[in-house]
Structure formats: C-alpha cells, structure tokens
Amino acid sequence: MYKIIILLYDSSFYYNCIFLENKFIIIIYRPNGIGTHIILNPFLDYVFNIIANKNKIEIMKLADIYKFIY
C-alpha cells in the first residue's frame, strides 16, 4: 500500500521527494505546466526521473483534486 503525498509543483517537490521511496505522489501544477519547466532545465529532468523511478507519480490540475474530496 502506498502512502499518499500531495504537493504543489515547485521547489518543495524536488526538495521533499528526492529521498522518498514507494510513495504515491500527487503533483498539483499551475497553468504553465511541468513539461515546459523540465524540458528547459536538464537537471530538473534528471531529478524528476530519479523521483519517478522510485515512486508512483500522478500529475493533476488543481481542479482535478476536488474529485478526491467530493
């Protein structure tokens, strides 16, 4: 069973998740998107892949989070 972690996509994602393993991480992103941010910075792409290989990651818009609440 996974432990669920929900956080915004910003520096806290990289800082707080780099050492996690076997977690279900829900990333809430802003309209500019994660893809653009990662593509423009190869280091962030590298760190994102480290986190993604050790955890299950779901990327959602803020509006989609309400589906879990209601």
Q: Tens digit of pLDDT for each residue in 36-67?
A: 777 788 898 899 999 999 999 998 887 777 77
Which residue(s) pair with 58 in the sheet? 26
Residue 23 lies in a domain: yes
Within a domain: 66: no
Residue 70 lies in a domain: no
Instruction: Decide if 19 is inside a domain.
Output: yes
Structure-model confidence comparison of residues 5 and 40, the more confident one: 5
Main-chain phi, psi angles of 5, to 5 degrees: -125, 130
What is the number of domains present in the chain? 1
Q: Do the domain assignments include residue 68?
A: no
What does the pLDDT read at residue 22? 94
Residue 67 lies in a domain: no
Residue 37 resides in a domain: yes
pLDDT band at residue 70 using 50, 70 and 90 as cut-offs: low
| Residue 13: inside a domain | yes
Share of the chain above pLDDT 90, in %: 30
Rounded to 5°, angle at Cα 25 from 65 and 34: 75
